[in-house]
Structure 1
Amino acid sequence: MSTTRRSLLAALLAGGLSPEVLALGLPADAFAAAAPELAPLRGLDGDGLDATDVAIEGRLPAGLSGRYFRNGPGLMQRAGQRYRHWFDGDGLLQSWTLQHGRASHRARFVQTEKFRAEQEAGRFLLPAFGTAIPAERPVRGPDSVNAANTSVLLQGDALYALWEGGSAYELDPASLATRGVKVWSPELRGMPFSAHPKVEPDGTVWNFGTANGRLVVYEIAADGHVRRHAMLDVAAPAMLHDFAVSQRHLVFLLAPVTMDWAAVRAGQSMLEAMRWGANDPTRVLVVDKADFTKRRVFEMPACHVFHFGNAWDDGRLLRLDYVQGVPLPEFNAGAEQIMRGERTTRDVSTPRVLEINLQTGRLNVAARSEAVEFPVVDPRVVAQRHRFVWYPTAVDTGARWGFNGLMRLDIDGGARERFSFGDDVVVEEHVLVPKPGSTKEGEGWLVGMGYDVRRRRSFLSVFDAQRLADGPLARAWLPYAVPYGFHGRFYPG
C-alpha cells in the first residue's frame, strides 16, 4: 500500500468512518492510472461547464439544427469518499446547441434536494442506490435520494431529468436551471417515473414506474397532460429499467430479481441486497395499450436486460429487440471495478430479437454475438414496424474498457455496418436525427458523444446514419472532458 493511500486511510479512520465507507476512498491523482479510458469517471466537483463556439473538425451538416440533451452521473466523490457504483453519481445535464454549422455546449448539475444538501455540507449525507452511506438527513421517500442522473425528456418549455427510482425533475431547457420536482397529477405525486419513456411519432408518451412490486403505467399527451394511468399488481422485480411499446402493447421483461430486505436493514445498499434467481424464469408481461386490465404473461429463461430498441405487432406476431447483458451480480461487480479505476473482466452484452406468437404463446429468441449496448431507432418508427437499430459497439478493444465504434444492424436481414475509432476513443450512446424532409427510415444523422483518451477531451460526433463505415462527417471538440453519461435526445429547432 502506498504512503498516500495509508495517509488517506489514517485520516478517514480518525474521522470515525466505517471500514465499508473507507473502501470508497481513492486518491484523485491515482484514479484510472492503469486504465486511462476510465478517467472521465473521476467526475466533476459540482460546478457546471460552458464552451461557446466549439472547434469543429470536418463540417456539420447544414440541415442539422437543434438541441441535443444528455444526462448521466457527474459527481462521484466528496471529502475523500467515492461512490461504489456508477449509477450513484449526481445527475449532470448537458445541452449541445447546433446551428448554422456551429456548436456550443453547456452542462449543469440537477439541483436535487440531495445535491443541494451535500454541496452545502461538502460530504455525502444520504445513502445511494449502490452505496450504503448512513443517512444524516431524513429519508422520507425516493425523492430524498433522487439522483436525477439517467435520461431526459422535453415537453414544451419543460425539460425533465429522469431517474427510474423517483420523480422527474423539471429544468429550464435554455439555461438548465432546475425548477423542481415534477408532479404529473395530485394522485401521482411521488410515484416513480422511469428514465425510458417511449415517445410515439404523434408525441404520445408512454412510461412506467415500480413501487413495492407494483407497476404504474402512464399515457401522457404531447402537451404534457396525463390521459390515463393505472397501478398494476404484477409482482414487479426489484429492478426494471426499460420496456418496449408496439402498436397495441406495452411489453416488460420481468427478470428474476428480488430484494433481500434483511440485508438492507443490516446495512447493505439496495443494489447489493438484490438477489438474482438464476433458475427462475424471466416473465414477459404484455399489456394491452387500449385496456390496461388486459394482460398476458409468458416465460423465458432468466435473462438480464437494461435496454430495448423498439417493438411492433400485427395483432398476431409481436416482435421486439433488446440487448441482453450478464446476470445482475456480474454486472454490478463490473460497475464497482470501473468506479475503482479498474478495467472489468465481465462478459459483454449482445443483441437479441424476441418474437412472440400471441395466438399460440410460442416464443422465439434470435441471438447475435456483437458487443453492444444503448440501442436506438429512428424516432419516426417508435411503436411501429422497423428494420434498423444503431448501437455503440466494441471492435477489437482487447482488455480496454468501453465501446470504440458504432454499428447499424438490419434486424430483418441480419446485415451490419460498423465503424471503429480505434483504441484511443470511447464511444457513448448516439441518437438518430432524421434529415429534414426525409421520410425513409434511417435517413438522418447519428449524433452522440465520445472521449479521446490521448487528448483527454470529449467530443460530439456526427455520422450519416446510412453510411457509418465512411466515418464521422464532423466532430465538435470540447476543451475539457465530460463524465460519461447514459442517455440523451435530440430536438430539432
Structure 2
Amino acid sequence: MNRRHFLQSMGTALATTAATASLPSWARQADAVNSHYRRAPELFKTNPKLTCLRGFQGQDISCDAAWIEGKLPADLRGDFYRNGPGLFERGGQRYHHWFDGDGLVHAWRFGDNGVSHQARFVRTKKFVAEQQAGEFLVPAFGTAIEPKIPLRTSDTMNTANTNVIRMDGRLLALWEGGSAHAMDAQTLTTQGAVTWAPELAGMPFSAHPKMEADGSLWNFGTMMGKLILYQFSPQGKLLKHHIMNAPRSAMVHDFAISQKHMIFLFAPIHLNMDAVRSGKSMVQAMEWQAKESVKIMIVEKADFSRFRLLEIPALMVFHFGNAWEENNVIHVDFVKSDNLDNFNDWMPKIMRGEDVISEPSTPAFLKIDLNRNKVSLTERSENLEFPRVDPRVVGQRNRYLYYPVAVEKNTNNTLNGVMRLDQESGKTDSFNFGSDCRLEEHVVVSKAGSTKEGEAWLVGVGFDIPRQTSFASVFDAQNLAAGPVALAHLPYWLPHCFHGNFYSKA
C-alpha cells in the first residue's frame, strides 16, 4: 500500500469503528438510555447554574453593542474568536457528553465604539444534514447513535467544535478527529473542510496547534496507534508532515513545543473494542489503566523521525501551558487529573443538568533531563484548568502562567476566578468573581508597544448566573487582584466554549 492510500485508509478508520456499533441490541439499549436524557431540559430549568450548558437549537445570534461596565483599554482593539459545542438536542434526543455538540464560533469584536458579538454555527456536512433531517444521523464521540447515513470518513461526524485559529487570512474551526473547517473571518460563513495535501484529506488535525512568535505553526493528529505531525510556515504553507508509530492511547488531546522538540503525553487509556461493537460510545468504551504508565514521547522538530520515549506513573492530562529547554533539560507545565472520572462521570451528569462535584485538576510540572533520560514531576494544589501563556513566549522560557481557577470550593469546583502563577517566585495573583459566575478560558493579549512577557491584558468570557447572561472580561494581566478593568455584558446567555484566540488589529 502506498503512502497516500495508507493515510486515506486511516482517515476512514474512526468512521468504520463507529459503524460497528450499529447492532440490533444497540438500538434497544440506546432508546432506553436516551429516555432519561430527554428529560434533561426540565432539569436545566431548576438549575440556573448550568444554563450555559443547555445549548442552542441551531440559531445564529448577534449583538451590535454590548453594555460596558468599567472602561475598555484604548489599545485593546481586535477580534476575540471562541469556539465550543453549541447544540446538544435534536428530535427529542440529547447528547450525553459535552464534547459532542456542534461547533458554534463566536467573534467578540473590540473597536473604538465598544464591543460587538456575533456567533454562527459551523456548517459542517453533519450539521447541515442533521438540521434538515431534524434528528441526529451519525454517532457522536460520547453518545451511541445508530448511523442513518453512510459513514465514509471521520469527517462525516466532524463537529468542528473545539478551537478556532486565524491562519493565512481565514479562520479555522478545529476538531481533533478530522479536518479543519475554514470560515470567513468577518462574516463567520463556513467555506468548507480544509485539505492540506491530497493524501491528507480527512486526516486528524488536533484542536491545539502551537504557534510561535514568528507565526510558525506545529500540530499533530492521532489515530490507530499512529501519530501524524505537521509543520507550517508563518504564511500558512505546509512545510512537512510525517506519520509514525506511537504508544497506544484512546485520547491525546494536546501537546507542547519547546525550542527544539514536540512533547506528547500518552495517558493509559484503553479503548475496549468489544464494548464499541456491543453499542457503547467511544467515551463509554474508554477504560483507565491505573497500573500502566504514561508514555512521554519527545520528537525533534528538525527531524520528525527522531524521537525518544520515557515513562512516568499513570495520570491524566488534557491541556498544556508551555514548554522550554535549557542545558538539555525540557521544562513542561500542564494541568493534571488523577484519572478519567471527570471525563466519564462528571461531564455526562452536567449534560443532564445535575449540579455535581467534579474531581480537582491541578498544576503540574515536568523536568525531562535528556542527558540522563530522567523525568521528575512536581505539583501545586490549586484547582484549575485551561492554562495559557503570553503568545510571545510559546515554545520559549516563560515566567507566568494564567488560568481560570475554582476559588470557592463550595461551588462544586466551578471555575469562578482567574489566577496568574509566577513560576520563579511561586507567588500567585488572583481575582474571585464569587459563586454567581462560571468562567471559560482566558487568553493573554500583549499590550500595544510592550516588549516584556506579562505586559498584557487578560481577556475571557464568563456566565452571570443571576442575570442569566454572558460577558467578556478584561483584566490587567499585571494586577489581577484589582479586578476587571472592563466587562462587556450581552443581553443573552451563550453556550460555554472550550478555546479561542485574540487577534489584535495592527
Quick check: TM above 0.5? yes
Q: Confirm or deny: 8 A CA contact 2:206 2:221 kept in the other structure.
A: yes
Q: Which amino acid aligns with 2:131?
A: Q
How far apart, in 2, do the equivalents of 1:354 and 1:411 lie? 13
Q: Say whether 1:438 aligns with 2:433.
A: no
Unaligned runs of 5+ in 1: 1-14
Other structure's SS at 1:31 match: helix
Which residue does the alignment assign to 2:427?
A: 415
Instruction: Kindly provide the CA deviation profile for residues 18-57 of structure 1, in whole angstroms up to 9, marking residues without a partner as x.
Output: 2123232125343251x32111111001010100021111
Map 1:81-160 onto structure 2 (within 5 A): 81-100=93-112, 102-160=114-172
Other structure's SS at 1:299 match: strand
Identity of aligned residues (%): 49
Q: Say whether 1:333 aligns with 2:341.
A: no
How far apart, in 2, do the equivalents of 1:300 and 1:256 lie? 11
Instruction: Kindly provide the CA deviation profile for residues 297-338 of structure 1, in whole angstroms up to 9, marking residues without a partner as x.
Output: 110000100000000012411001000023114432000010
Q: 1:201 aligns with which of 191, 195, 213?
A: 213
TM-aligned CA distance change 1:225 to 1:236, over 3 Å: farther
Instruction: Kindly provide the CA deviation profile for residues 77-96 of structure 1, in whole angstroms up to 9, marking residues without a partner as x.
Output: 11221110000000000001
Q: Say whether 1:24 aligns with 2:47.
A: no
How far apart, in 2, do the equivalents of 1:242 and 1:412 lie? 25
Deviant stretches of 4+, over 6 Å: none
Q: Confirm or deny: 8 A CA contact 1:126 1:136 kept in the other structure.
A: yes
Q: Say whether 1:53 aligns with 2:65.
A: yes
Q: Which amino acid aligns with 2:167?
A: Q
Other structure's SS at 2:410 match: coil
How far apart, in 2, do the equivalents of 1:481 and 1:130 lie? 25
RMSD: 1.4
How far apart, in 1, do the equivalents of 2:338 and 2:354 lie? 18
Which region of structure 1 is more displaced relative to structure 2, 409-418 or 444-453?
A: 409-418
Other structure's SS at 1:116 match: helix
Other structure's SS at 1:18 match: helix
TM-aligned CA distance change 1:188 to 1:420, over 3 Å: same
Map 1:37-52 onto structure 2 (within 5 A): 37-52=49-64
How far apart, in 1, do the equivalents of 2:282 and 2:359 lie? 23
TM-aligned CA distance change 1:32 to 1:385, over 3 Å: farther
How far apart, in 1, do the equivalents of 2:450 and 2:78 lie? 17
Q: With structure 2 as the length reference, what TM-score do the two structures score? A: 0.93
Q: Confirm or deny: 8 A CA contact 1:32 1:38 kept in the other structure.
A: no
Unaligned runs of 5+ in 2: 1-27
Map 1:379-458 onto structure 2 (within 5 A): 379-400=391-412, 402-458=414-470
Instruction: Kindly provide the CA deviation profile for residues 232-254 of structure 1, in whole angstroms up to 9, marking residues without a partner as x.
Output: 10134110000000000000001
Q: Confirm or deny: 8 A CA contact 1:215 1:236 kept in the other structure.
A: no
Instruction: Kindly provide the CA deviation profile for residues 208-228 of structure 1, in whole angstroms up to 9, marking residues without a partner as x.
Output: 001111000000112111101
Q: With structure 1 as the length reference, what TM-score do the two structures score? A: 0.95
Q: Confirm or deny: 8 A CA contact 2:442 2:458 kept in the other structure.
A: yes
C-alpha displacement of 1:403: 0.6
How many residue pairs get matched? Answer: 478
Other structure's SS at 1:263 match: helix
Which residue does the alignment assign to 2:12?
A: none
How far apart, in 1, do the equivalents of 2:412 and 2:325 lie? 39
Q: 2:228 aligns with which of 211, 216, 226?
A: 216
Which residue does the alignment assign to 1:8?
A: none
Other structure's SS at 1:84 match: coil
Q: Confirm or deny: 8 A CA contact 2:30 2:145 kept in the other structure.
A: no
C-alpha displacement of 1:196: 0.2
Q: Confirm or deny: 8 A CA contact 1:38 1:401 kept in the other structure.
A: no
Q: Say whether 1:363 aligns with 2:337.
A: no
